[in-house]
Amino acid sequence: MILVLRALGVGDLVTAVPALRALRAAYPGRELALAAPAWLAPLVDLVGGVDRLVDTAGLDRPAWPGPAPQVAVNLHGRGPQSHRLLAAARPGRLLAFANTEAGFTDGPPWAADEHEVDRWCGLLSWYGVATDRTDLALRRPDVAGLPTGVTVLHPGGKIPAKRWPAERFAALARALTDRGHRVLFTGSADERALAAGVADAAGLPPTAVLAGRTDLGALAALVANARLVVSGDTGVAHLATGYGTASVVLFGPVPPAHWGPPPDRPRHRVLWAGEGDWRRWDGVGSHPTLAALRLDEVLAAVDEVERVVRVSGAIAA
């Protein structure tokens, strides 16, 4: 059995898809167990190749209560906590980054300035496991009962500093509605009030707010069949990448070179204003790298990705 630790969120899981698929191909006859939060189960099904999901919401409990796995793979972090959690499962072999604090020196060194997809593909490549960093596509879910062709605006995000100002999301929603987009707002249950406030400021009805009303499978289906997604650097942006859905992703303060969509995919446009001096930030609200992004820049980026979609559709026809 192969035990893989990735006890994080949506974006973390999607950026690990190439590594998970590489492990599936490298160990075709063995059970592949993923230690990750149980709420990710609908998305794990869309990744494919995972035989068992072991509910692991953090690093404070054993990741595996069963017999020792033949191989344990740390796709969670640099250690030492994650290394020790997997070592406690007594694996025959551990694949992980070197970490002297955890007493593990077998793996490659950790590089801080690296894209998340490349990080885990590079780890496996160091151990001789062939990887394909472009293998990001997710399985398409059932869309029964869900709207298609909508524009998804996701004003929230787990980290408030990474959110574009709510009033600009409202202005964007008004502008896109005027252009003929059917705008819907997504988010978690905790973000429902935020999404509802943005919708109200945009003059859109409560029925446009799906935040807190969709599980992860329904959110994936909505994104997979959307016209456009606009969000900050959060999980829904990675879903758009996985489905090739046109997207505009607003980055800050973390640079897109670490978490952004592949730069060679023109359906995804990244906006980033991180070259200035932001040391005067007071720590309240949106980080200045987000506040610096103007509405007209976002609308121009929307025009760009929609133009790409039209051209690619014409070529395919």
Q: Is the pLDDT of residue 36 over 80?
A: yes
- Taking the C-alpha atoms of residue 182 and residue 122, their distance in angstroms, rounded to an integer, is 41
How many independent structural domains does the chain possess?
2
Backbone angles phi, psi at 280, to 5 degrees: -85, 5
Asked if the peptide bond before residue 80 counts as cis, ω within 30 degrees of 0, the response is yes
For the chain, what is the mean pLDDT?
Answer: 92
pLDDT at 315: 59
Q: Are residues 161 and 273 in the same domain?
A: yes
106/159 same-domain check:
no
Identify each DSSP E strand in the chain by its residue range: 2-5, 32-36, 52-55, 71-74, 93-95, 151-154, 183-185, 228-232, 247-251, 268-272
State whether 68 and 164 are in the same domain.
no
Same domain flag for 17 and 78:
yes
**pLDDT tens-digit profile of 183-218?**
999 999 999 999 999 999 999 999 999 999 999 999
Q: How far apart are CA 174 and CA 168, in angstroms?
A: 10
Edge-to-edge order in the sheet of strand 2-5 = 52-55, 32-36, 2-5, 71-74, 93-95
Q: With the C-alpha atoms ordered 12, 14, 18, 23, is the resulting torsion angle positive or negative?
A: positive
DSSP helix/strand/coil, 249: strand
Same domain, 122 and 159: no
Q: What is the tens place of the pLDDT at every residue in 218-241?
A: 999 999 999 999 999 999 999 999
| Among candidate residues 67, 66, 72, 69, the one with its CA nearest the CA of residue 84 | 72
Residue 108 within a domain = yes
Six token digits for residue 177 = 């509605």
Instruction: State the Cα angle at 254 between 253 and 258, rounded to 5°.
Output: 160
Do 10 and 44 fall within a single domain? yes
Residues 98, 180, single domain; the answer is no
The CATH code of the domain that includes 30 is 3.40.50.2000
Task: Print the domain residue range for 278.
Answer: 151-316
User: pTM of this prediction?
Assistant: 0.93
The contacts of residue 315 (CB under 8 Å, 6+ apart) are: none
Residue 66 shares a structural domain with residue 167: no
Same domain, 162 and 216: yes
Which residues partner with 248 through β-bridges?
230, 269
